[in-house]
Amino acid sequence: MQEKLSKMLEEAKEQLNKAASLADTEEIRVKVLGKKGQLTEILRSMGKLPPEEKKALGMAANKVKAEFEQLLAEKAAEVKAKAKEAKFKAEKIDVTEPGKEIAYGVKHPITQTIDEVVEIFKSMGYAVYEGPDVDTVYNTFDALNSPENHPARDMTDTFYINEDMVLRPHTSSAEIRAELELPLPYKVLIPGRCYRVDTPDATHSPTFHQIEMMVIGEDITMGDLKGSLDHMAKRLFGPETRTKFRPSHFPFTEPSAEMDVSCFKCGGKGCPVCKGSGWIEILGCGMTHPHVHQAGGIDIEKYTGFAVGMGVERIAMLKYGIDDIRFLYENDMRFIEQFK
Ligand SMILES: [Zn+2]
Protein backbone atom coordinates (compact mmCIF):
# COMPACT_ATOMS: atom_id res chain seq x y z
CA MET A 1 0.00 0.00 0.00
CA GLN A 2 2.79 2.41 0.93
CA GLU A 3 4.39 1.68 -2.39
CA LYS A 4 1.16 2.31 -4.18
CA LEU A 5 0.86 5.68 -2.46
CA SER A 6 4.40 6.73 -3.42
CA LYS A 7 3.92 5.60 -6.97
CA MET A 8 0.63 7.49 -7.22
CA LEU A 9 2.25 10.68 -5.88
CA GLU A 10 5.14 10.37 -8.35
CA GLU A 11 2.72 9.95 -11.23
CA ALA A 12 0.63 12.88 -10.07
CA LYS A 13 3.79 15.04 -9.84
CA GLU A 14 4.77 14.10 -13.35
CA GLN A 15 1.35 14.95 -14.69
CA LEU A 16 1.26 18.23 -12.82
CA ASN A 17 4.58 19.16 -14.38
CA LYS A 18 3.05 18.78 -17.81
CA ALA A 19 -0.20 20.57 -16.94
CA ALA A 20 -0.63 23.73 -19.04
CA SER A 21 -4.09 24.92 -18.08
CA LEU A 22 -6.57 25.01 -15.23
CA ALA A 23 -8.53 22.30 -17.06
CA ASP A 24 -5.43 20.06 -16.89
CA THR A 25 -4.92 20.59 -13.15
CA GLU A 26 -8.61 19.97 -12.49
CA GLU A 27 -8.38 16.69 -14.42
CA ILE A 28 -5.44 15.60 -12.27
CA ARG A 29 -7.28 16.59 -9.10
CA VAL A 30 -10.27 14.45 -10.07
CA LYS A 31 -7.98 11.56 -10.97
CA VAL A 32 -6.47 11.63 -7.47
CA LEU A 33 -9.11 13.04 -5.12
CA GLY A 34 -12.31 12.53 -7.07
CA LYS A 35 -15.04 10.05 -6.00
CA LYS A 36 -13.27 7.35 -7.98
CA GLY A 37 -9.81 8.92 -7.58
CA GLN A 38 -6.70 6.91 -6.83
CA LEU A 39 -6.22 8.24 -3.31
CA THR A 40 -9.94 7.90 -2.55
CA GLU A 41 -9.74 4.24 -3.59
CA ILE A 42 -6.71 3.62 -1.37
CA LEU A 43 -8.39 5.22 1.64
CA ARG A 44 -11.55 3.24 0.98
CA SER A 45 -9.66 -0.07 0.80
CA MET A 46 -8.07 0.68 4.20
CA GLY A 47 -11.24 -0.41 5.96
CA LYS A 48 -10.30 -4.04 5.62
CA LEU A 49 -6.86 -3.67 7.25
CA PRO A 50 -5.92 -4.47 10.84
CA PRO A 51 -5.92 -1.39 13.18
CA GLU A 52 -2.10 -0.84 13.37
CA GLU A 53 -1.63 -0.99 9.63
CA LYS A 54 -4.68 1.17 9.20
CA LYS A 55 -3.20 3.86 11.44
CA ALA A 56 0.23 3.85 9.74
CA LEU A 57 -1.28 3.90 6.29
CA GLY A 58 -3.76 6.59 7.28
CA MET A 59 -0.94 8.87 8.37
CA ALA A 60 1.02 8.15 5.18
CA ALA A 61 -2.05 8.76 3.04
CA ASN A 62 -2.78 12.09 4.76
CA LYS A 63 0.83 13.16 4.21
CA VAL A 64 0.60 12.27 0.54
CA LYS A 65 -2.74 14.01 0.27
CA ALA A 66 -1.37 17.18 1.86
CA GLU A 67 1.65 17.17 -0.39
CA PHE A 68 -0.47 16.58 -3.47
CA GLU A 69 -2.89 19.34 -2.55
CA GLN A 70 -0.07 21.81 -2.09
CA LEU A 71 1.53 20.89 -5.41
CA LEU A 72 -1.85 21.13 -7.08
CA ALA A 73 -2.52 24.57 -5.60
CA GLU A 74 0.92 25.83 -6.66
CA LYS A 75 0.49 24.52 -10.18
CA ALA A 76 -3.00 25.97 -10.46
CA ALA A 77 -1.70 29.38 -9.39
CA GLU A 78 1.14 29.12 -11.89
CA VAL A 79 -1.05 28.27 -14.91
CA LYS A 80 -3.52 30.97 -13.87
CA ALA A 81 -0.76 33.59 -13.80
CA LYS A 82 0.53 32.40 -17.16
CA ALA A 83 -2.95 32.58 -18.68
CA LYS A 84 -3.36 36.12 -17.36
CA GLU A 85 -0.03 37.19 -18.81
CA ALA A 86 -0.89 35.63 -22.18
CA LYS A 87 -4.21 37.50 -22.14
CA PHE A 88 -2.46 40.79 -21.42
CA LYS A 89 -0.03 40.13 -24.23
CA ALA A 90 -2.81 39.30 -26.67
CA GLU A 91 -4.83 42.39 -25.74
CA LYS A 92 -1.91 44.76 -25.49
CA ILE A 93 -2.40 48.13 -27.20
CA ASP A 94 0.64 49.83 -28.63
CA VAL A 95 -0.09 53.46 -27.96
CA THR A 96 2.88 54.50 -30.06
CA GLU A 97 1.52 52.82 -33.18
CA PRO A 98 0.39 55.40 -35.75
CA GLY A 99 -3.42 55.57 -36.03
CA LYS A 100 -5.50 55.19 -39.13
CA GLU A 101 -5.46 58.45 -41.06
CA ILE A 102 -8.79 60.27 -41.11
CA ALA A 103 -9.40 62.37 -44.19
CA TYR A 104 -10.33 65.81 -42.85
CA GLY A 105 -12.14 68.22 -45.10
CA VAL A 106 -10.90 71.74 -45.52
CA LYS A 107 -12.87 74.96 -45.74
CA HIS A 108 -12.68 76.64 -49.12
CA PRO A 109 -10.42 79.73 -49.00
CA ILE A 110 -13.47 81.89 -49.83
CA THR A 111 -15.35 80.46 -46.82
CA GLN A 112 -12.25 80.87 -44.68
CA THR A 113 -11.96 84.53 -45.69
CA ILE A 114 -15.65 85.21 -45.00
CA ASP A 115 -15.36 83.45 -41.62
CA GLU A 116 -12.31 85.50 -40.74
CA VAL A 117 -13.92 88.84 -41.61
CA VAL A 118 -17.14 87.86 -39.81
CA GLU A 119 -15.10 86.89 -36.74
CA ILE A 120 -13.33 90.26 -36.70
CA PHE A 121 -16.59 92.22 -36.85
CA LYS A 122 -18.39 89.89 -34.45
CA SER A 123 -15.83 91.00 -31.86
CA MET A 124 -17.04 94.57 -32.50
CA GLY A 125 -20.68 93.60 -31.95
CA TYR A 126 -21.77 93.04 -35.54
CA ALA A 127 -24.43 90.48 -36.50
CA VAL A 128 -24.71 88.58 -39.78
CA TYR A 129 -27.67 89.35 -42.02
CA GLU A 130 -28.40 87.55 -45.27
CA GLY A 131 -30.25 88.54 -48.41
CA PRO A 132 -31.32 86.44 -51.39
CA ASP A 133 -29.14 85.86 -54.47
CA VAL A 134 -32.15 86.72 -56.66
CA ASP A 135 -33.50 90.13 -55.75
CA THR A 136 -35.74 92.78 -57.20
CA VAL A 137 -34.47 95.40 -59.61
CA TYR A 138 -35.86 97.93 -57.13
CA ASN A 139 -33.74 96.65 -54.19
CA THR A 140 -30.74 96.28 -56.43
CA PHE A 141 -30.79 99.66 -58.18
CA ASP A 142 -33.69 102.09 -57.58
CA ALA A 143 -33.61 101.97 -53.79
CA LEU A 144 -29.82 102.29 -53.87
CA ASN A 145 -30.05 105.66 -55.58
CA SER A 146 -29.39 104.30 -59.08
CA PRO A 147 -32.37 105.56 -61.09
CA GLU A 148 -33.41 104.04 -64.37
CA ASN A 149 -30.96 105.99 -66.53
CA HIS A 150 -28.00 105.31 -64.27
CA PRO A 151 -24.99 103.65 -65.95
CA ALA A 152 -24.91 100.97 -63.24
CA ARG A 153 -28.18 99.66 -64.64
CA ASP A 154 -26.68 98.75 -67.98
CA MET A 155 -28.38 95.54 -69.05
CA THR A 156 -25.00 93.89 -69.43
CA ASP A 157 -24.12 94.54 -65.81
CA THR A 158 -25.95 91.58 -64.36
CA PHE A 159 -28.22 88.67 -65.23
CA TYR A 160 -31.91 89.49 -65.52
CA ILE A 161 -34.38 86.76 -64.50
CA ASN A 162 -37.15 88.93 -65.91
CA GLU A 163 -37.81 92.68 -66.06
CA ASP A 164 -38.16 92.98 -62.29
CA MET A 165 -35.76 90.37 -60.96
CA VAL A 166 -31.98 90.06 -61.20
CA LEU A 167 -29.15 87.94 -59.90
CA ARG A 168 -27.75 90.52 -57.50
CA PRO A 169 -24.56 92.18 -58.79
CA HIS A 170 -23.66 93.27 -55.22
CA THR A 171 -24.60 92.41 -51.66
CA SER A 172 -25.84 96.00 -51.32
CA SER A 173 -29.21 94.72 -52.59
CA ALA A 174 -29.81 93.38 -49.08
CA GLU A 175 -29.36 96.83 -47.52
CA ILE A 176 -32.97 97.87 -48.13
CA ARG A 177 -34.24 94.55 -46.76
CA ALA A 178 -32.17 95.09 -43.61
CA GLU A 179 -33.42 98.65 -43.23
CA LEU A 180 -37.05 97.53 -43.51
CA GLU A 181 -36.62 94.51 -41.25
CA LEU A 182 -34.15 95.26 -38.47
CA PRO A 183 -34.80 97.38 -35.38
CA LEU A 184 -32.50 100.42 -35.10
CA PRO A 185 -29.69 100.94 -34.35
CA TYR A 186 -27.81 98.03 -35.91
CA LYS A 187 -24.45 96.83 -37.15
CA VAL A 188 -24.54 94.01 -39.66
CA LEU A 189 -22.36 92.13 -42.09
CA ILE A 190 -24.02 90.77 -45.20
CA PRO A 191 -21.83 88.13 -46.85
CA GLY A 192 -22.96 86.42 -50.02
CA ARG A 193 -22.62 85.45 -53.64
CA CYS A 194 -22.93 88.01 -56.43
CA TYR A 195 -23.19 87.82 -60.21
CA ARG A 196 -22.10 89.96 -63.11
CA VAL A 197 -21.87 89.53 -66.84
CA ASP A 198 -18.10 89.17 -66.93
CA THR A 199 -15.96 86.95 -69.11
CA PRO A 200 -13.75 84.85 -66.82
CA ASP A 201 -10.10 85.85 -66.76
CA ALA A 202 -7.39 86.03 -64.10
CA THR A 203 -9.22 88.74 -62.15
CA HIS A 204 -12.88 88.40 -63.27
CA SER A 205 -15.52 85.79 -62.68
CA PRO A 206 -19.26 85.93 -63.42
CA THR A 207 -19.79 84.56 -59.90
CA PHE A 208 -17.99 86.09 -56.95
CA HIS A 209 -18.52 87.00 -53.31
CA GLN A 210 -18.89 90.21 -51.39
CA ILE A 211 -19.24 91.17 -47.78
CA GLU A 212 -21.42 94.19 -47.18
CA MET A 213 -20.98 96.00 -43.93
CA MET A 214 -23.72 98.27 -42.74
CA VAL A 215 -24.13 100.44 -39.66
CA ILE A 216 -27.05 102.69 -38.79
CA GLY A 217 -27.40 104.67 -35.57
CA GLU A 218 -27.40 108.13 -34.06
CA ASP A 219 -24.24 110.18 -34.55
CA ILE A 220 -22.51 107.63 -36.75
CA THR A 221 -19.69 109.44 -38.54
CA MET A 222 -16.97 108.88 -41.12
CA GLY A 223 -14.63 108.50 -38.13
CA ASP A 224 -16.53 105.37 -37.03
CA LEU A 225 -16.24 104.01 -40.55
CA LYS A 226 -12.51 104.64 -40.75
CA GLY A 227 -11.82 103.27 -37.28
CA SER A 228 -13.75 100.05 -37.91
CA LEU A 229 -12.04 99.42 -41.25
CA ASP A 230 -8.60 100.29 -39.93
CA HIS A 231 -9.12 97.73 -37.16
CA MET A 232 -10.22 95.14 -39.70
CA ALA A 233 -7.17 95.77 -41.91
CA LYS A 234 -4.79 95.31 -38.98
CA ARG A 235 -6.50 92.06 -37.95
CA LEU A 236 -6.59 90.74 -41.53
CA PHE A 237 -3.16 91.75 -42.78
CA GLY A 238 -1.10 92.31 -39.63
CA PRO A 239 -0.76 94.95 -36.89
CA GLU A 240 1.73 97.03 -38.93
CA THR A 241 -0.85 97.64 -41.66
CA ARG A 242 -1.74 101.28 -42.41
CA THR A 243 -4.87 102.40 -44.23
CA LYS A 244 -5.56 105.22 -46.63
CA PHE A 245 -8.92 106.56 -47.81
CA ARG A 246 -9.21 108.05 -51.30
CA PRO A 247 -12.31 110.01 -52.38
CA SER A 248 -14.45 108.07 -54.81
CA HIS A 249 -18.02 107.89 -56.07
CA PHE A 250 -20.78 105.34 -55.54
CA PRO A 251 -24.46 106.15 -56.06
CA PHE A 252 -25.46 104.75 -52.66
CA THR A 253 -22.94 106.60 -50.47
CA GLU A 254 -22.03 110.25 -49.95
CA PRO A 255 -19.23 110.97 -49.33
CA SER A 256 -17.68 107.87 -50.84
CA ALA A 257 -14.16 106.53 -50.51
CA GLU A 258 -11.95 103.67 -51.50
CA MET A 259 -9.69 102.21 -48.89
CA ASP A 260 -6.13 101.11 -49.59
CA VAL A 261 -3.95 99.17 -47.18
CA SER A 262 -0.19 99.43 -46.99
CA CYS A 263 1.30 96.49 -48.88
CA PHE A 264 1.62 93.57 -46.47
CA LYS A 265 4.26 92.02 -48.72
CA CYS A 266 6.79 94.87 -48.87
CA GLY A 267 5.50 97.05 -46.02
CA GLY A 268 5.03 99.98 -48.42
CA LYS A 269 8.41 100.05 -50.16
CA GLY A 270 6.98 98.85 -53.47
CA CYS A 271 6.87 95.34 -54.95
CA PRO A 272 5.06 93.35 -57.68
CA VAL A 273 2.08 92.65 -55.35
CA CYS A 274 1.38 96.38 -54.91
CA LYS A 275 2.63 97.15 -58.43
CA GLY A 276 5.35 99.32 -56.95
CA SER A 277 2.98 101.77 -55.24
CA GLY A 278 3.27 100.40 -51.70
CA TRP A 279 -0.54 100.43 -51.42
CA ILE A 280 -3.23 97.88 -52.27
CA GLU A 281 -6.83 98.79 -53.01
CA ILE A 282 -9.14 96.73 -50.81
CA LEU A 283 -12.69 98.05 -50.79
CA GLY A 284 -15.23 100.79 -51.40
CA CYS A 285 -17.16 102.51 -48.64
CA GLY A 286 -18.94 105.69 -47.61
CA MET A 287 -21.66 107.32 -45.54
CA THR A 288 -24.98 105.87 -46.67
CA HIS A 289 -26.78 108.26 -49.03
CA PRO A 290 -29.94 109.79 -47.48
CA HIS A 291 -31.94 108.55 -50.48
CA VAL A 292 -31.08 104.96 -49.50
CA HIS A 293 -32.16 105.56 -45.92
CA GLN A 294 -35.37 107.16 -47.14
CA ALA A 295 -36.11 104.13 -49.35
CA GLY A 296 -35.66 101.96 -46.26
CA GLY A 297 -37.99 104.15 -44.17
CA ILE A 298 -35.20 105.47 -41.93
CA ASP A 299 -35.59 108.88 -40.26
CA ILE A 300 -32.68 110.77 -41.85
CA GLU A 301 -32.93 113.63 -39.35
CA LYS A 302 -32.19 111.20 -36.52
CA TYR A 303 -30.03 108.50 -38.05
CA THR A 304 -26.87 108.30 -40.09
CA GLY A 305 -24.82 105.31 -41.10
CA PHE A 306 -22.16 103.90 -43.30
CA ALA A 307 -21.83 101.06 -45.76
CA VAL A 308 -18.86 99.09 -47.03
CA GLY A 309 -18.60 96.57 -49.85
CA MET A 310 -15.58 94.33 -50.05
CA GLY A 311 -14.69 91.64 -52.54
CA VAL A 312 -14.01 88.34 -50.78
CA GLU A 313 -12.01 86.90 -53.70
CA ARG A 314 -9.79 89.97 -53.82
CA ILE A 315 -8.98 89.69 -50.11
CA ALA A 316 -8.44 85.91 -50.36
CA MET A 317 -6.17 86.30 -53.40
CA LEU A 318 -4.09 88.98 -51.71
CA LYS A 319 -3.92 87.18 -48.40
CA TYR A 320 -3.00 83.78 -49.83
CA GLY A 321 -1.01 84.97 -52.85
CA ILE A 322 -3.42 83.47 -55.43
CA ASP A 323 -2.72 84.99 -58.85
CA ASP A 324 -5.74 83.72 -60.80
CA ILE A 325 -9.34 83.98 -59.55
CA ARG A 326 -10.31 80.89 -61.60
CA PHE A 327 -8.37 78.62 -59.21
CA LEU A 328 -11.05 79.42 -56.64
CA TYR A 329 -13.82 77.83 -58.74
CA GLU A 330 -12.16 74.81 -60.33
CA ASN A 331 -12.67 72.60 -57.26
CA ASP A 332 -9.26 71.05 -57.76
CA MET A 333 -8.50 69.33 -54.45
CA ARG A 334 -4.75 69.85 -54.93
CA PHE A 335 -5.43 73.59 -54.81
CA ILE A 336 -8.02 73.53 -52.01
CA GLU A 337 -5.97 71.26 -49.75
CA GLN A 338 -3.24 73.88 -49.54
CA PHE A 339 -5.53 75.89 -47.27
CA LYS A 340 -5.62 73.35 -44.43
ZN1 LIG B 1 4.31 95.77 -52.05
Q: Does position 155 have pLDDT exceeding 60, yes or no? A: no
Ligand 1 mean position, distance from CA 282 (Å):
14
Which pLDDT belongs to residue 261?
92
Ligand 1 mean position, distance from CA 266 (Å):
4
Ligand 1 mean position, distance from CA 262 (Å):
8
- What sign for the dihedral angle of Cα 20, 22, 24, 28? positive
The conformation of residue 159, written as its DSSP 8-state character, comes to -
Q: Give the span between the Cα atoms of 113 and 282, in whole angstroms.
A: 14
Render 68-97 in DSSP notation, one character per residue.
HHHHHHHHHHHHHHHHHHHHHHHT---TTS
Ligand 1 mean position, distance from CA 249 (Å):
26
Long-range CB contact pairs, 268-271, < 8 A, 24+: 268/242
When comparing pLDDT for 149 and 34, which is higher?
Answer: 34
Ligand 1 mean position, distance from CA 49 (Å):
116
Instruction: Tell me which of 93-107, 160-174, 189-203, 237-251 is least confident.
Output: 93-107
Q: Give the span between the Cα atoms of 246 and 56, in whole angstroms.
A: 121
Q: Does position 151 have pLDDT exceeding 80, yes or no? A: no
Ligand 1 mean position, distance from CA 259 (Å):
16
pTM exceeds 0.75? no
What does pLDDT average to over the chain? 89
Which pLDDT belongs to residue 204?
85
The conformation of residue 98, written as its DSSP 8-state character, comes to P
Q: Does position 92 have pLDDT exceeding 90, yes or no? A: no
Ligand 1 mean position, distance from CA 280 (Å):
8
Mark out the alpha helices in 256-322 (DSSP H runs): 290-295, 312-320
Q: Does position 156 have pLDDT exceeding 70, yes or no? A: no
Edge-to-edge strand ranges of the sheet holding 127-128:
127-128, 186-195, 207-217, 304-311, 279-288, 253-262, 243-250
Centre a 10 Å sphere on the Cβ of residue 221 and count the other Cβ atoms it contains: 12
Ligand 1 mean position, distance from CA 257 (Å):
21
Ligand 1 mean position, distance from CA 233 (Å):
15
Ligand 1 mean position, distance from CA 333 (Å):
29
What is the arithmetic mean of pLDDT over 127-137? 94
Which pLDDT belongs to residue 121?
95
Q: Give the span between the Cα atoms of 338 and 37, in whole angstroms.
A: 78
| Alpha-carbon torsion angle 330, 332, 334, 338, nearest 10 | 50
Per DSSP, the three-state class of 207 is strand
Instruction: Tell me which of 124-133, 140-149, 302-311, 319-328 is least confident.
Output: 140-149
Which pLDDT belongs to residue 152?
63
